[in-house]
A = this chain, B = another copy of it.
Amino acid sequence: MSPSPVRFSDLVSEQSRAEIFATVLTSGPLSRTQLAQRLGLVPSSVTRMLPPLLEHGYLHESDTAPNGRGRPQKMLHVNPDKHTVVGIKIGPAQVSGVITDMAANVLARLEEPIADRTPETALSAAAALTRRLLAQTPEAADRVLGVGVGVSGHVDSAAGICRYSALLDWNKVDVAGPLRAATGLPVVVNNDVNTLVVAERWFGQGRDVDSFAVVTVGPGIGCGLLLDGALFSGATGLAGELGHLPLDPAGPMCSCGRRGCLEALAGDRAVLRHLQDAGVPCATITEAMDIARSGSGSAQTVARSAFAEAGTALGRGLAGMCNLLNLQKIILAGEGAVAHDLFGPALNQALEAHAFSTAARDCDIHVDPVTHDLWARGAACLVIREAVGAAIS
């Protein structure tokens, strides 16, 4: 039942071929000349590299399109159906998965609540989900390159393990091993926000941006970094812990035990606490958004100021990050990003106020419309990235 993995890397072994593929994949249809320019090569080099990619069907040539004067260009584009990829996101209450083609188009999606967040439960759910996804789309099953997994917390990507996750209460959990054994497929694991970074870099808002951050807003504040064109993980894979930036020595207690972390000031819990302190009954962040958007009277005022306060804290945190890293773009994602209408103005104001020199002006803030399978799609990108030899990202 377990399909044999296709060795994409055998065909696209050389660095330059992988780069050609990656460039065509992310930068849409390109003529040979355009491709050469983008890669800093001379056209003849591109010509020499192409045959294997075309013969094996990784790239296609479209009909010639007249282009004013001169010989028309033959556009190259990837054949998205050549391979498929599975992406899995492991959350504390559910495991969600997608199967996508090479362009990260979702072909099928599944989701499964899990009874507890033990590694055994989560990983067997992930394996089951993978099997069901493959069974559901048999035409994709024999072309699967591998499985990408996004896990919240401190992930050692090379070893395929999760070192520590507060959200999942995991400690040194081997993720790649069990999944590889259960599915017979190559498995790539990374931090969940890093999967978003790769996805944005390849197919999203980070396509032509050399330095950006993806900041997820929700129960916690997460952050993934792409610096000078490369995913940045830090010395031990811990980079991006924006959520625990100390912002206020007199601030509220954070779940990590310290005072005034960004997460304690701008996470869901901070908004809810603000409402409760003001005597407005409210249990979930969705409810808080409803009150702020369409509530009435003082409850609405309180709710709005709760989100504004969170936005101010987030703005100060992002300003700190911009000061330190001089990013070109920050992409706000995650479940909480839908409340951007509520915290956005305060965020921008605080960012502008605390950013040094041109740091805020240099940095675009972009809100990514949160689709439900964004996480899993990001995880799928991990495998595509791995397959082309990390030529990009």
Contacts and interface: CB of A to CB of B under 8 A. Distances in A.
Contact of A326 (B210, B235, B244): B235
B354 A246 contact: yes
Nearest to A153: B357
Interface stretch (A24-32, A316-324, A338-346): A316-324
A247 B320 CA distance: 9
Nearest to A164: B357
Interface in A206-251: 210-211, 223, 225, 227-228, 230, 232-250
Report the copy number of this chain in the oligomer: 2
B362 A235 contact: yes
Contact of A241 (B154, B227, B250, B323): B323
Contact of A249 (B234, B248, B320): B248
Interface of A: 154, 164, 210-211, 223, 225, 227-228, 230, 232-250, 256, 258, 316, 319-321, 323-328, 353-354, 356-359, 362-363
Contacts of A154: 357-358
Contacts of A228: 227, 230, 232
Nearest to A250: B250
A246 B244 contact: no
A346 to B, nearest CB: 13
Q: Of A154, A238, A243, which is in contact with the most chain B CB atoms at under 10 Å from its CB?
A: A238
Given A249-B316, A354-B258, A323 B235 contact: no
